Amino acid sequence: MKQVSLLAGLIIGVLSLLIACESKKEAAKPVGDAALMSPAGSAGRMENDEGVGHYKQGHWTVAEGHFRKAIAADTKLVEAHYNLGLALDKMGKHEAATASFKKVVELAPPDSPIKDSVILKEHIGK
C-alpha cells in the first residue's frame, strides 16, 4: 500500500511538472497581428479594450482613436502602443506604425513575447 501511494504521488508530481512547463511555453509564444487587451488596473484599459473591439471589426480609424486615448491616459501602456501600431499598419501609415512599434520595444519587458511579433519586427527591422 505504501508503494502504491508513493507511486501515485510520483505520477502526480511528474504530471504537475509537465503541465507547468506547457503553461510556460504558451505564455512565451509570440503575439500575432491580433490587438491585445490591457491588463487590469491600467488607466487606459477601457479605451484600449474598446479599440480592440473596433480593430477586430476592421474599423481601423475608430480603433486608432481609442488607442490614442488609452495612451494619453497611460503613456506606458505597451498594449495600446502595440495596437496603435497595428491599426496604423492596416491603414498604410507605415512610418507612424514603426514609431509605435519602436515605443513598444522601449517599454516592454526584456522577455516579453510582444517583442517577437512578426509585424513589429517587419517595421523595426529586427
| Mean pLDDT calculated for residue range 4-13 | 54
User: Each residue of 84-94: pLDDT tens digit?
Assistant: 999 999 999 99
Burial of 91 (0-12, 13-18, 19+ CB in 10 A): middle
User: Each residue of 46-102: pLDDT tens digit?
Assistant: 999 999 999 999 999 999 999 999 999 999 999 999 999 999 999 999 999 999 999
For the whole model, what pTM was predicted? 0.76
Q: How many angstroms separate the CA atoms of 121 and 45, rounded?
A: 25
Residue 11 has pLDDT above 80, yes or no: no
- Residue 68 makes CB contacts below 8 A (sequence gap 6+) with 84
Considering the chain, what is the average pLDDT of its residues?
A: 84
Q: What are the extents of the domains in the chain?
A: 1-30, 31-124
The fold for domain 31-124 equals 1.25.40
